[in-house]
Structure 1
Amino acid sequence: MRWLHATLAALLVLLVSTLGASAQQPAAPETLRVGILQYGTVNWELDAMTRNGIDERHGVDVELVPFAGEDASAVALQAGAVDMIVSDWLWVSRQRSAGADFTFAPYSTSVGSIMVPGDSAMQALTDLRGKTLGVAGGPLDKNWLLIQALAQRDGLDIAAENEIVYGAPPLLTAKAESGELDAVLNYWHYAARLEAQGFRTLISGTEAAMAMGTAGPVAAIGWVFRDSFAAEHPEAIEGFLAADEEIKALLQESDAEWVKLAPLVKAEDEKTLATLRDRYREGIPTRSAEEEIADTRALYRLLAEIGGERLVGPSPELIEGTYFTGRKNGT
């Protein structure tokens, strides 16, 4: 019987050690499917995040799901094919007004700017009168509406008194470079590429918003996901947002990290890469959630007055819960 007792004791020791080892094993990272535009600037941040293992360090395995356009990524989120995309708070608020539970966490304050050649005589918004202006994003683009409102305040009906050319960002960039346009309102990274070639900013969307009453830069786009997903997967959302904060800090401080990103950024030269890097860094949100939400509410009311229901949907006010504030968001 002595050998049986010894065998049982050995088995018990083995079982306890095995259980102890299992308990010490870290939980496997939770997969988070993020829908991205194939050639979007969000890829830069997520590439650096996953390449450096920052997502896994925070308990998340970020899976990138590429799409050809914003509409496709939004449809995928609505269908549950992805867990998260990047979009703006106008879309989120409009969806919430229709009963959906999407919510928004700030990603970037970088917005478009009106760019003019470096040697242009134009110095103020009113100097645009009678000029040919290219506009990316269409008639309901937020920056375009804000700049129109500011110009109207200064006595210029910019849409009526100018030749407006709507078009895709790359096409408008090419027309600006060739001199076919006197000025161009383009997305931030196209504006940065023009800046590297000697163009300068006449006015940015952020400057227009602040001139119209916001206290600081407002996050134009953010990470968008469902409240229900956050409630069911709180560690994944909290881990991802922590990883996002860490990678932003790395990209803020490390020029070497931008050299590694150069093939993905596709900068034409070192000056363009440096300009894109600097403008990205300027767009990292730094304000408190309370400041962001207060300014977004004010900006939303202004856009509702300017763009009406076509832009914001049926609600004249930003819907409660549009900004993600935690697991019980909007309640």
Structure 2
Amino acid sequence: MNFLRHFVTVCALALMTMPALADQDLPKLRAAMLATGTVNWEISTIQHHELDGRNGFQLSVLAYADNGATRVAFEGGEADVMVADWIWVARQRAAGKDYVFLPYSLAVGGLMVKADSGIETLPDLKGLKIGIAGGPVDKSWLILRAYAKQVFDMDLAAETEQVFGAPPLIFKAALSGETAGTINFWHFMAKMKAKGMRELVSVADAAKALKLDPDTPLLGYVLKGDYVANHPDIARGLYMASREAKDLLRVDNEAWNAIRETMNAADDAEFSALIAGYRAGIPSGKPIDEAAADRFLRIMADLGGEDLVGKATTLPQGVFLHLE
């Protein structure tokens, strides 16, 4: 009887430790992430719901203070994956680096004005100040410049005054009225909407007017081609975990409550606006229209020049990773 009791106890302990051992045995995917980036909402959801383990890998997050540091970690081999826009990936491929892009989000910016500003169209901004996050080659700014030229025959750069700065500073300048118009990252735009500002024109609408595909995801996970070739199951596991996290965040409000502390929402209005903004940026999952992406890149090359696209004046082959 004592032997039987001992045997049952040993078996029970073995079963209890099996999941932990299995987790330890899973291949690790090292992700270099911006510590304050919105991608962390998805990453936290993946980890909280163990979507990485269910898809055959263990996600290990390395947090960095800025995007430059994440790129150094990725390019130097300290990390296996990072987040960037596909324009940057195209630039790297044109320079001979075998980087590939796995779509993450199509959330892009737009141009915001105060609700009572009286500004109704872009020409109303002539002679006024526009605050722009991201610098002179910010992609939202360049798309809006192309849109202004096509629709209003307006040189937005020449006919307005631009102030460039970090997203939080541009956000504050918008609220204070220091700038008449503001182009900022989507999550700051969501916060501005929560504060009563309105969107004059979205980059998505501008893209449609320019015959581009607004369903082309701008942001994505970036991996090296040889890593994908050597670890195809992990690459697909990342894709599946990301999609499952999005499916959860698309419909489940409780999933958002679990990550609210990481979202830096000042109040319920901002929290709701951030959720709506994230959900609006979830890609449809349709195959990427590479012809439309090529047209987008040509516009970026024309307006942003080599400072933005390097040698990538047309879409290099192999930018987008297809795992379906």
Q: So what's the TM-score if we normalise by structure 2?
A: 0.90
| Correspondence 1:187-206 to 2 at 5 A | 187-206=185-204
Contact 2:215 2:284 (8 Å CA) reproduced: no
Q: How far off is 1:287 after superposition?
A: 4.4
Could you say which residue in structure 2 is the equivalent of 1:186? 184
Q: Which residue of 2 aligns with 1:74?
A: 71
CA distance in 1, matches of 2:32, 2:291: 28
Letter in 2 for 1:151: A
The residue that corresponds to 1:17 in the other structure is none
Q: Distance in 2 between matches of 1:315 and 1:259?
A: 42
Deviation of 1:179 (Å): 1.3
Q: Give the aligned partner of residue 36 of structure 2.
A: 39
Q: CA deviation at 1:30?
A: 1.4
> Is 1:302 aligned to residue 299 of structure 2?
yes
**Partner of residue 16, structure 1:** none
The answer to whether the 8 A contact 2:132-2:184 is kept is: yes
User: What are the within-5 Å matches in structure 2 for residues 150-169 of structure 1?
Assistant: 150-153=147-150, 154-169=152-167
Report Cα offsets for 1:240-283 as digits up to 9, x if no partner: 11010000000001111112211110101111101100110000
CA distance in 2, matches of 1:288, 1:141: 26
Alignment of 1:200-279 (within 5 A): 200-279=198-277
Contact 1:106 1:223 in 2 (8 A): yes
Q: Which amino acid aligns with 2:252?
A: S
Distance 2:156 2:55 in 1: 48
Separation in 2, partners of 1:290, 1:159: 31
Q: Give yes or no for contact 1:206–1:218 (8 Å, CA) kept in 2.
A: no
Q: CA deviation at 1:132?
A: 1.2
Equivalent residue, structure 1, for 2:317:
320
What is the RMSD computed on CA atoms of the aligned residues? 1.7
> Does the 8 Å CA contact 2:213/2:293 hold for their aligned counterparts?
no
**Partner residue, 1:108:** 105
Q: Is the 8 A contact 2:131 2:165 kept in 1?
A: yes
Q: Secondary structure at the match of 1:110?
A: coil
Instruction: Work out the CA distance in 2 between the residues paired with 1:263 and 1:41.
Output: 12
Distance 1:216 1:174 in 2: 28
Aligned partners of 1:66, 1:313: CA distance in 2, in Å?
A: 28
SS in 2 for 1:85: strand
1:286 aligns with 2:284: yes
Asked if 1:146 corresponds to 2:135, the answer is no
Equivalent residue pairs, number: 303
User: CA contact under 8 A between 1:129 and 1:156: conserved in structure 2?
Assistant: no
Shift of 1:204: 1.7
Per the TM alignment, residue 88 of structure 1 is displaced from its structure 2 partner at its CA by: 1.0
Question: More deviation in 309-318 or 51-60?
Answer: 309-318
Deviation, 1:76, is 1.0
Cα drift, residue 159 of structure 1: 1.4
Q: Flag structure 2 segments of 5+ consecutive residues without an equivalent.
A: 1-17
Quote the residue 1:7 is aligned against: none
Query: Does structure 1 retain, via aligned residues, the 8 Å contact 2:216–2:288?
Result: no
Q: Helix, strand or coil for the counterpart of 1:274?
A: helix
How far off its partner does 1:133 sit?
Answer: 0.8
How far residue 177 of structure 1 moved from its aligned partner, in angstroms, is 0.9
What's the % identity of the aligned pairs? Answer: 37
Secondary structure (helix, strand or coil) at the match of 2:156 reads: coil
Does the CA contact (< 8 Å) of 2:217 and 2:283 recur in 1? yes
Partner SS state of residue 65, structure 1? strand
Gaps of 5+ in 1: 1-21
The higher radius of gyration belongs to: 1
